[in-house]
Amino acid sequence: MRFIGTQEIEDIAVGAALLGTGGGGDPYIGKLMAQQAINDNGPVELVTTDEINEEDVFVPTSMMGAPTVLVEKPPSGEESIRTFKELEKRLGTNIAATFPIEAGGINSMLPFVLAARLGLPVVDVDGMGRAFPEIQMTTFYLDGISATPMAIADEKGNLSLFETINNRWTERLSRSATVEMGGSTIVASYSMVGKQLKKSGVKNILHLEEKIGEVIRKTKHNTIDELLELTKGFQLFSGKIIDIERETRKGFTRGNVIIEGLLQNRGKDMKIQFQNEYLIAETNSNVLCVTPDLIAVLDSETGEPITTEGLKYGARCIVIGIPCDDKWRTDIGIQTCGPTYFGYDIKYQEVEKLNSNN
């Protein structure tokens, strides 16, 4: 157990945005929200899964919807509290602690905002080890844990609760409610006991995010090399953004970005397709990284991660690929969030294999 203050938040937000693979929200807004909550209420207790009680109930808090929308209407923090009170009433028990559902500039931060305000600990675990766009895309789902009862709230004061027959229905119903509620909502879902969280979560993810943030903040010259070492990743491409197609539709930010190669990649283009998160990175000739492996786009100068809504014409960037958690590299994992699920006619291959010559 240790305490997370505003400096730790600074690093975790940046590392989370990197592992958020373009989704999960802007780290700047997430950071400000968490730092404000910690300034108001004091540091937040961070516990490992080894330190939690197996019978206690744990619930993640997260944002659902298009990050492009969230930037325009950041949550107040009240939404999370209302969803937690609703689930506690529903479950007939207190929630012992919260944790992030996924990595991401916003979604790794919201648990700290809520924890600071309610005086709860945060558990160092998440349900993806990255970010994904749909409710059922969690390592909890792979182990049969239901996302419902699920409470969602908007900033206006509306609240919906869902009890569904499976997580696909949860996704459908909560997505359409999110669209109606203005494109982004705050969600409490996947309530589970400590024993389940230990078995099915991706552990020590906040620790990794903090290390990544620290490297980006401290390292001046060989940031990318240090990041690759820390994440066991690969540099996929280096270049300049020359085209962005992006639209917010049905509650998602969808599109693709074209990067023109510079330096060792001169003469090539890289195309990255995204749906909230970066999903496929390929050059004219080769697929280089495929979901569920992680794709991150980093600012060439600072190493800071660039989210899909932060992509800007002319920006110089480096694209890296990172192996996903092993839980995703199973048949059900690939079915749930491999390229076929997202509609791409590409077979999943591990980023290590696709880049074995690097």
- 100: preceding bond cis by omega (within 30 degrees): no
Query: How many angstroms separate the CA atoms of 40 and 280, rounded?
Result: 41
Contact between 177 and a copy of itself per CB under 8 A: yes
- Least separation in angstroms between residue 90's CB and a copy of itself is 8
Q: Which stretch binds a copy of itself (CB under 8 A): 34-42, 47-55, 157-165, 255-263?
A: 157-165
Closest residue by Cα to residue 327 from 204, 166, 143: 143
Tell me the angle at which helices 6-19 and 205-218 cross, rounded to the nearest 10 degrees.
100
Member of 157, 267, 314, 343 binding a copy of itself (CB under 8 A)? 157
Query: How many angstroms separate the CA atoms of 339 and 163, rounded?
Result: 29
233, 222 contact by CB (below 8 A):
no
Contact between 159 and a copy of itself per CB under 8 A: yes
- Least separation in angstroms between residue 151's CB and a copy of itself is 9
Q: Which is nearer to a copy of itself, 151 or 241 (CB)?
A: 151
Amino acid of residue 71: V
Structure tokens at 16: 């989370």
Contact between 172 and a copy of itself per CB under 8 A: yes
Member of 84, 112, 132, 162 binding a copy of itself (CB under 8 A)? 162
Contacts of residue 78, defined as CB under 8 A and 6 or more positions apart, other chains included, come to 155
Contact between 165 and a copy of itself per CB under 8 A: yes
Closest residue by Cα to residue 276 from 190, 342, 349: 342
113, 106 contact by CB (below 8 A):
no
Contact between 173 and a copy of itself per CB under 8 A: yes
Contact between 52 and a copy of itself per CB under 8 A: no
Beta bridge partners of residue 253, listed in sequence order: 248
Q: What is the DSSP letter of 136?
A: T
x-marked contacts with a copy of itself along 3-42 as a string, rule CB under 8 A: ----------------------------------------
Q: Which stretch binds a copy of itself (CB under 8 A): 3-11, 106-114, 159-167, 234-242?
A: 159-167
Three-state DSSP class for 285? coil
- Least separation in angstroms between residue 191's CB and a copy of itself is 16
x-marked contacts with a copy of itself along 240-269 as a string, rule CB under 8 A: ------------------------------
Q: Which is nearer to a copy of itself, 157 or 343 (CB)?
A: 157
- Least separation in angstroms between residue 33's CB and a copy of itself is 23
The CA-based angle 66-72-76, given to 5 degrees, is 95
Member of 169, 230, 261, 316 binding a copy of itself (CB under 8 A)? 169
Binding site for a copy of itself (CB under 8 A): 86, 156-165, 169, 172-173, 176-177, 179-181
